Chain A
Amino acid sequence: MTLNRRAFIGSGAAAAAMLSAPMLRAQGKPRVVVVGGGAGGATAARYLAKDSDGAIDVTLVEPTRAYYTCFFSNLYIGGFRELSSIGHSYGTLASEYGINVVHDWAVGIDRDAKTVTLAGGAVLPYDRLILSPGIDFVDDAVPGWSVAAQNKMPHAYKAGSQSELLKAQIEAMPEGGRFAMVAPPNPFRCPPGPYERISMVAHLLKEINPTAKILIADPKEKFSKQALFEEGWQKHYSGMIERIGPDFGGGNVSVDPDAMTLNIDGTVEKVDVCNVIPAQKAGRICDMAGITEGNWAPVVPATMQSRMDENIHVLGDATSQGDMPKSGFSANSQAKVAAMAVRGALTGSKVFPAKFSNTCWSLIDTDDGVKVGASYEATEEKISKVDGFISDTGEDAALRKATYEESIGWYAGITEDMFG
């Protein structure tokens, strides 16, 4: 083929067009897609939109229109909160922050094309993707139980209708009946959560069914705030609660939801309500994206970027990051670090050193609140705990009441921080 001048000009133009294509894309408004509208995702979306002043196009994908926080859902079960008081909508994020809120399920991620596919068929392109999907349950973690049995044996570990169901079942227990909990193995969402729940169930039963009993089958030797809970159970609910730890077969449990029985290391127990909290893993979308290792998604501590894909950040319960407990507070704290890193990468804004913190409050009985908290910093290997505190056993009633009131203030603060 002879190269004439016309052909040469033509191919030159084509080459120039090809070269300029990525430039044009980079000059457009950068797009961030956030999957999951909980403590991690809602916070990240809000901070990105707020702090970039419209320079970043933020889309939040969350299937539910009314989001119920897992934190404080135990207080609903105990009768300290109305369910409506822990429900939140995304209206303000859309109207005041300009976030494109899409109520749909993310069902696929193409990391090469950098797109998220939704169940409704839409395809969302992204420059950065933030995944904050929370937890899913490990299949067959408790033999005999599956999500199909969650109406008979609720987990109530994703708040909302499950919380309502569990509370209704407790209220319908026969006089002197028995409530059982199958506690999860480490690591799981909200380390003190199952034990705060036990406290709240005991509080409710003490009021409406004082001869009822509570049984816990637990695969763990130790649990968070153990001395505080055990002191409180002795003080408020003496003789009501029995916990079977791993030494006595608490880790070897199967259930039969139709018969309402659980088998603890060969001993069959018939119960009236059975709250099964199975072993957990990162929300399934992380698996679909191919960014998990084992059950969780490993992240780079300083930025919360996936260790498998620098264009994806992962937040909250779904991550494997080191020392932070899986909690709403942790997810909110991680979201701010990730939002800052994403803004820095996409708009060149200042990136300050990452700081993380967490506090978990638990309510044991009326005006008897306790807390545990810590601060964390990023080391190369992981997010490392550097300092912390925990309530003491034997604290006076005034301090415990102040701690509970503080938790109410915290709830108002964090939900405003998430939803605007």
Chain B
Amino acid sequence: MIRTYGRFAAGLAALILSAASAGAEAIGDPERGEELFGMCSGCHEVGKGAENGIGPHLNGIFGRKAASVAEGFRYSDGLRRAGADGLVWHLDKLDAYLENPKALVSATRMSFDGLEDPQERADILAYLRRYSANPQNIPEADPTARPREVELAPEVLALVGDEEYGEYLSSECKICHQADGNDEGIPSITNWPEDDFVVAMHAYKRKLRPHPVMQMMAGRLSDEEIAALAAYFQSIE
């Protein structure tokens, strides 16, 4: 490991810099979104005491099944069908709906031509997100930021893992997987061959392996990070 470290260090430093500056990205600017919401407020209310008007109120819209406001809003048949088919209002669906309502739900009654500018849509959605459940209180509530994109490179197995970075990353694994190899309830990941570890993590990342915790954990790791973890877990005693 020490042998290869120097070669890898420069690349690693660059990676860390880019990762540190990227971070998660806010949905948009909620202040600007509040102003832009003016074009929606003729039909939709949102915030404390919001009620249904020409359109349904938008409190709790994130994570809500389409056409499901409990207080009996009369939806179009199109939106009701979409709800029955499983349309749930997450960020991507709301964004598509705002871009062109009829592209997502053909027979919707929402008479809105759509908003071309992705930033304006993002700002409106950031504003609306304030009035849906807070993940601090309801951990399963919808995300409040966009994850940073993680690229899957072709030469994954060729990457040289950095053990020190791997050790830091592994602190997240060790909340569940015990370093001493104890495997009661949760499998041991200590002393796996590096290649097997990398393959397994990429299978979680691509959701080929089924476990939701592991899919989430692996999904946010870059190729370099998976390589670093593999190197670390192979090395520990």
Contact = CB atoms under 8 A, between A and B. Distances in A.
B216 A416 contact: no
B35 interface: no
Contacts of A323: 134-136, 144
Contact of B139 (A374, A405, A409): A374
A63 interface: no
A412 to B, nearest CB: 6
B24 interface: yes
A412 B184 contact: yes
A224 interface: yes
B175 A224 contact: no
A193 to B, nearest CB: 12
Contacts of B171: 47, 336, 417
A375 B175 contact: no
A325 B172 contact: no
A357 B55 CA distance: 37
A170 interface: no
Interface residues on B, range: 35 or more
A389 B217 CA distance: 11
Contacts of B200: none
A192 B139 CA distance: 9
Interface string A328-351: 010011001000100000000010
Contacts of B138: 191, 222-224
Residue in B20, B139, B180, B216 whose Cβ sees the most chain A Cβ within 10 Å: B139
B215 interface: yes
Contacts of B212: 373, 389
Interface stretch (A19-27, A230-238, A260-268, A380-388): A380-388
Interface string B126-154: 00000001111111111111111000000
A167 interface: no
A214 B42 CA distance: 46
A386 B24 contact: yes
A12 interface: no
Contacts of A387: 143, 147, 216, 219-220
Given A386-B145, A405-B185, A374 B135 contact: yes
Contact of A350 (B142, B164, B174, B219): B164
A54 B182 CA distance: 27
Contacts of B217: 357, 375
Interface in A208-224: 220, 222-224
Given A379-B145, A405-B185, A412-B178, A224 B139 contact: yes
B30 to A, nearest CB: 10
Contacts of A374: 135, 139-140, 143, 216
Contacts of B220: 355, 375, 386-387
A296 to B, nearest CB: 10
Contact of B213 (A352, A371, A378, A386): A371
B19 interface: yes
Given A222-B133, A358-B139, A413 B19 contact: no
B172 A333 contact: yes
A81 B146 CA distance: 40
B147 A409 contact: no
A388 B179 CA distance: 25
Interface in A52-73: none
Query: Looking at B136, B147, B169, which has the most chain A CB atoms within 10 Å of its CB?
Result: B136
Interface in B1-58: 16, 19-20, 23-26
B134 A406 contact: no
B145 A377 contact: yes
B184 A408 contact: yes
A302 B143 CA distance: 18
Given A373-B212, A410-B185, A412-B182, A386 B139 contact: no
Nearest to A335: B171
A359 interface: yes
Contact of B175 (A325, A329, A381, A406): A329
A266 B160 CA distance: 68
Contacts of B182: 412
Given A385-B145, A416-B178, A377 B139 contact: no
Contacts of A371: 213
Contact of A413 (B26, B142, B176): B176
A381 B144 CA distance: 12
B171 to A, nearest CB: 4
Given A222-B138, A384-B144, A353 B16 contact: yes
A321 to B, nearest CB: 8
Nearest to B171: A336
B139 A191 contact: yes
A336 B172 contact: yes
Interface in B76-108: none
B19 A353 contact: yes
B186 A386 contact: no
B137 A186 contact: yes
Contact of A332 (B142, B175, B178, B183): B175
Given A324-B135, A389-B140, A412-B178, 13 more contacts: A224-B140, A333-B172, A336-B168, A379-B23, A382-B144, A388-B143, A389-B216, A405-B185, A406-B176, A408-B185, A409-B185, A412-B185, A416-B174
A-B complex: 9 closest residue pairs judged by Cβ atoms: A409-B185, A409-B186, A384-B145, A377-B24, A386-B147, A389-B212, A323-B135, A405-B185, A390-B140
7 contacts: A186-B137, A322-B136, A333-B172, A350-B16, A373-B216, A407-B185, A408-B184
